[in-house]
Structure 1
Amino acid sequence: MLLALLMCYVGFTALCLSTDRHHGELLHSKPSPHRRRMLRAAGWLLLIASIWPAVTVAGWSQGLVEWCAVLMLSALLLVLLLPYRPRLALILAGVGLLASPVAAFATL
């Protein structure tokens, strides 16, 4: 479930960075249209792909329930971090991106 959690958090952060407001707050620049499309596509792709590790570990019935819980937990974490610690939210997304391959090998 750690891999699904990391993928969901990074996906939500990418979707968050695809907006002008959050991109400006976190990276101090306005996103170009190409960057906005790429961040949006990467975010949705990661959210959709995060179903796979949850279903592989726990099966379809329990895996989808756990995926919904992980989805809500990662969104809640991002929503709580953005107003108070926006740089920490960005750092956690980077750490999650780097830790995802390790979590993928741990599930094998």
Structure 2
Amino acid sequence: MLLACLLCYGGFIALCLSMDRHHAQLLGRMPTRVMRRRWRRAGWVLLAVSLWAAVSTTGWALGLVDWFAVLMLSALLLVLLMPYRPRLALALAGAGLLACPIIVFVQR
């Protein structure tokens, strides 16, 4: 469940970075068209991998319910952090994505 949560949060941050306003707010520069597409693809890939992580641990019946709960939780965290602490939101996503391989090995 933690792995799915971290991947969802990273996916939402990547989707935020695909928007001009949030990219400038978080990284201090405007993204190019190619970078916007890459961030958007990365966000959707991370969200799809988070679905796989949720479903692989508990099966399709509870995995989808867990995944939707994790989606809402990570989106809420991002919405609360972006207006007040945008750099913290970015740092949490980076730390979470770096912790994902460790969590995979711990869960097995």
Matched residues in 2 for 1:100 and 1:15: separation?
Answer: 19
Aligned length: 108
CA deviation vs aligned residue, 1:40-74 (integer Å, no higher than 9, x gap): 00000110111111111111101110010001100
Any idea what SS the aligned residue of 1:97 has? Answer: helix
Provide the aligned C-alpha RMSD in A.
0.7
> Identity of counterpart residues, as a percentage?
64
Structure 2: 5+ residue stretches without partners: none
- State TM-score, norm by structure 1: 0.97
1:107, CA displacement in angstroms? 1.7
Query: What residue in structure 2 maps to residue 72 of structure 1?
Result: 72
Query: What residue in structure 2 maps to residue 61 of structure 1?
Result: 61
CA deviation vs aligned residue, 1:16-54 (integer Å, no higher than 9, x gap): 011000000111100011111100000001101111111
- Matching residue's letter, 2:76: L
After the TM superposition, which segments of 4 or more aligned residues of structure 1 sit over 3 Å from their partners? none
